[in-house]
A = this chain, B = another copy of it.
Amino acid sequence: MTSLLIRNARIGDDAPADILIRDGKIAEIARDIAADGVPVENADGHIAIAGLVDAHTHLDKSLLGWPWYKNDVGGASLMAMIENERAMKKKLGIDPHVQSMRHALKSVAFGATLIRSHVDIDTEGGLRALEGVMQTAEKLADVVEIETVAFPQSGLMIREGTVELMDQALAMGADLVGGLDPCGVDRDPKGHLDAIFALAEKHGKGIDIHLHERGELGLFSMEMILDRAEALAMKGLVTISHAFCLGMPDYHRTEPMLARLAAMDVRIMTTAPSSSPAPLVKQLDAHGIKLGAGNDGIQDTWGPYGNGDMLERAKIVGQRNNLRMDSEVKRALDVCSGGGAEAMAKPRRALEAGAPGDVVLVEGETVVQAVVSHAPRRLVVKGGHVTARDGKTLVEAP
């Protein structure tokens, strides 16, 4: 844990001040703090925001650094995309450690200090992807905190041996139990959910389940998730990623579900997608449901989009939610920073004494101007440790 004094940073839209980080945490924010031997960075009046948080991504999937991958599969069928990815991984001989290093460091250059990565566990790749990402997490421990979710991307019940691999993955150190569309992919919601909740109970770990299922089907799976969360008293330990079904327009269907999610302190992670229904910030806020955001996979066999920038994701969250007021856009930023950390059950990233020493200096006239233009990052600091300067990480990507 490191100490650092950042001089002359604009604290959000407020007047410039100094930020003193001691032993990895923000100790003080004030004018003209005495340095007394602490290393100093001059912010030159740039805007300081709290460290960015990518609460839903896939570090093992990106093809960053490879020649352009020409996508001929498209988005019509989830199963076709899953099958294609497994085939391509094999064909190309992707190294999950190298790819996760590239992806994580790209995110760090944009200001990420905390990442939750789902990692594929399947009977072809085995635990290789997890080993690679965990190796990255260890190497980058001072640079970015990486949490892993053992994720049965190819299905759990439909591929024999996957539950056992998930069990091994959790024993090996995966932080959370993943899951995927218990109806849509596994065609066995009871089997799927019983299996992942049993793994969570056995290993004493939380759950973060991908739920792309829309409309009534998604609500049905969500009910089955909640039944189990309630029965096992897993308040605050369950996360639902994507949760497209919460974007269905029927208030009488979503409101009781939101109330039930809130009562169990279920957390929601979104990418704020433009081509799907999506959980909405204001609706979740009204229920006090913790919400994080993520970039999801970037530049992989699933699609060509994404660059790892959570400040740009804040813009996307703002646009998806029709957030136009400055105060609203700042909430979109919070979803991609402090709010996302809270949704991950991690200390809230914020510019205040006691918060983690995770600070990003960004160019810009105001915070909102910086968000909507995803302005250049000047400095990224994690726990008082400088990790990137002018868009380049200090650790080089392989």
Contacts and interface: CB of A to CB of B under 8 A. Distances in A.
Interface of A: 67-68, 70-75, 272-275, 299, 302-307, 315-316, 318-329, 365-366, 368-369, 371-373
A321 B276 CA distance: 9
Contact of A302 (B305, B324, B329, B366): B324
B74 A324 contact: yes
Given A73-B325, A74-B325, A304-B326, A274 B320 contact: yes
Contact of A324 (B67, B304, B322, B326): B304
Contacts of A273: 274, 319
Given A68-B369, A74-B324, A275-B319, 20 more contacts: A67-B365, A70-B326, A71-B325, A72-B325, A72-B327, A74-B328, A75-B324, A272-B274, A273-B274, A274-B316, A274-B320, A275-B320, A275-B321, A304-B324, A304-B368, A304-B371, A304-B372, A305-B318, A305-B372, A307-B373
B368 A322 contact: no
Contacts of A68: 365-366, 368-369
A305 B324 CA distance: 8
A365 B275 CA distance: 26
> What number of copies of this chain does the assembly contain?
2
Contacts of A274: 272-274, 316, 319-320
Contacts of A371: 304
A319 B327 CA distance: 26
Contact of A322 (B72, B75, B322, B365): B75
26 contacts: A67-B365, A68-B368, A70-B326, A70-B368, A71-B325, A72-B326, A72-B327, A73-B324, A74-B324, A74-B325, A74-B328, A75-B324, A273-B274, A274-B274, A274-B320, A275-B319, A275-B320, A299-B372, A302-B324, A303-B324, A304-B368, A304-B369, A304-B371, A304-B372, A305-B318, A307-B373
A275 B283 CA distance: 14
Contacts of A75: 322-324
Contacts of A275: 319-322
A75 B281 CA distance: 14
A71 B324 contact: yes
Contacts of A67: 365
Contacts of A73: 324-325
A323 B73 CA distance: 10
Nearest to A366: B68
A315 B305 contact: yes
B316 A329 contact: no
Contacts of A302: 324
Nearest to A365: B68
Nearest to A302: B324
Contacts of A316: 274
Nearest to A318: B305
Contacts of A322: 75, 275
A302 B74 CA distance: 35
Contacts of A328: 74
Nearest to A322: B275
Contacts of A299: 372
A94 to B, nearest CB: 18
A215 B125 CA distance: 47
Contacts of A303: 324
A74 to B, nearest CB: 4
Contacts of A321: 275
Nearest to A304: B372
A236 to B, nearest CB: 30
Nearest to A299: B372
Contacts of A368: 68, 70, 304
